Amino acid sequence: MRILVGISGGIAAYKAITLVRRLREAGCEVRVVLTEAAAQFVTPLSLQAVSGAPVRASLFDAEAEAGMDHIALARWADQVIIAPASADVLARMAQGMANDLLTTLILATTAPVTIAPAMNRQMWAHPAVQANLATLTARGVRVIGPASGSQACGEVGAGRMVEPEILAAQLLAPNPSVNWRGKRVVITAGGTQEPIDPVRFIANRSSGKMGFALAAAAQAAGATVTLICGPNALATPAGVARVNVQTALDMHAAMMDIAQIDVFIGAAAVADYRVAEPAVQKIKKTAAADTLTLTLVKNPDIIHSVAQRSPKPFVVGFAAETEQLRHYASQKRMAKGMDLICANQVGENLGFDQPDNAITAIWAGGEQVFERSDKAVLATQLVELMNKIIEQG
């Protein structure tokens, strides 16, 4: 595979060196294009050393392809990725500008284009940036990330470039054969928080990463995606509508407010129980009481509620188990009316808070084991499996 890596200005540009190396290790031919700003963060010589090919930066290069380097590169590439993709390059792409080599070849190529945004969290959240992203995704540009975490400016939040290993895995994964245009997909993600008093709550261990990866994969397949998520700091996948909730009751209500659902994916770790009567004021610890008794009541079963709808959507759920994985997952699928259940073993650095996972998918007609891999790759594979089961009826 021939991959063109475009690098725009930003501190994350140094990660592009690792991306190029990973792609080369996978057997890809790689060419690199730098913007003027990118050259302030990473040198052409470094990228030439890891790519094994000359690095391009100038739109007008008399020695490159008879001065028509942008056309030659555009025709050469099987895929194009811009990593990092700064707010500036996103704006210029959205406007169809061609004022440097990178933006010019984007207009001239027919290859799939992927962007990996990287910028300050406030810049990422700005309406102008989000509008540019919406424009690009509507044109078929694939967006990976950004991730959340510490940023070079000292702030914390969404805007970090996705790690090079994940980008390489996404680029090299088989192209999805799923066309979900016109389908309405609703996904729950993350854990819920059930209040005990104004400062304490009961929660489940869930990062939300699998649900967010599924939202990105469904959106990439063309679906209209609504992501209902419990408290977390993950960046919303581009083109996905996000509804923030706190409790299981909130999540259930948000789901019930959505009239049309074609595919429902319950990836959230919803609390099974909530405190019957949360305290209005903070519960104080006293010297006289060594124990505290809480009365818990059962929360509504969100997946079961969706499965009772008419017409019934295609319903997918998850089962995190510590033992007897297939047995408990199969029981749960049938009891709740799921069409497909994705079971994963938790514990021993599996499942929660991990960037990767291993899943056993079980449905009425069969079973498929997905070996441990990045959750973004798993999400694409699961969407393809869902589509296959739906098509088979």
Q: Same domain for 188 and 168?
A: no
Stated pTM of the model: 0.68
Residue 320 phi/psi, 5-degree rounding, is -100, 115
> Given 3-state DSSP classes, what are the helix, strand and coil percentages for the chain, each rounded to the nearest 5?
35, 25, 40
Q: Same domain for 79 and 206?
A: no
Q: Same domain for 101 and 164?
A: yes
Residue 131 structure tokens? 């509008």
Instruction: Give the full edge-to-edge strand order of the sheet including 366-374.
Output: 241-244, 224-229, 184-189, 263-266, 314-321, 340-345, 356-363, 366-374
In a domain, 179, yes or no: no
In a domain, 217, yes or no: yes
Q: Same domain for 273 and 296?
A: yes
In a domain, 300, yes or no: yes
CATH code, 88: 3.40.50.1950
Cα separations in angstroms, 215 against 36, 91, 274 = 34, 24, 27
State the DSSP H helix or E strand holding residue 352, giving kind and residue range, or none if neither. Answer: none
- Domain with 377 in it: 184-392
| Residue after which a domain boundary falls, among 144, 172, 200 | 172
Q: Choose, from 28, 153, 229, 342, the residue flagged as catalytic.
A: 153
Q: Same domain for 112 and 144?
A: yes
In a domain, 36, yes or no: yes
Instruction: Give the full edge-to-edge strand order of the sheet including 142-143.
Output: 55-56, 29-34, 2-7, 79-85, 113-117, 142-143
Q: Please answer whether residues 136 and 158 qualify as being in contact, where contact means their C-beta atoms are separated by less than 8 angstroms.
A: no
The per-residue pLDDT string of the chain (393 residues; one tens digit each, 9 = 90 and over) reads 899 999 999 899 999 999 999 999 988 999 999 999 999 999 999 999 999 999 988 877 655 555 446 677 888 999 999 999 999 999 999 999 999 999 999 999 999 999 999 998 889 989 999 999 989 988 888 888 887 777 777 777 778 898 888 888 878 876 556 889 889 999 999 999 999 999 999 998 888 889 998 998 898 888 899 999 999 888 788 778 899 999 999 999 999 999 899 999 999 999 999 999 999 999 998 888 889 899 999 999 999 999 999 999 999 999 988 888 889 999 999 999 999 999 987 766 555 666 678 899 999 989 999 888 778 888 889 999 999 999 887
Q: Same domain for 134 and 197?
A: no
In a domain, 37, yes or no: yes
For the question of residue 229 being annotated catalytic, the response is no
Q: Same domain for 352 and 204?
A: yes
Q: Give the pairing of strands 113-117 and 79-85.
A: parallel
Q: Same domain for 236 and 339?
A: yes
> What's the number of domains the chain is made of?
2
DSSP of 62-131: TTSGGG-HHHHHHHH-SEEEEEEE-HHHHHHHHTT--SSHHHHHHHH--S-EEEEE---HHHHHSHHHHH
| Residue after which a domain boundary falls, among 128, 150, 172 | 172
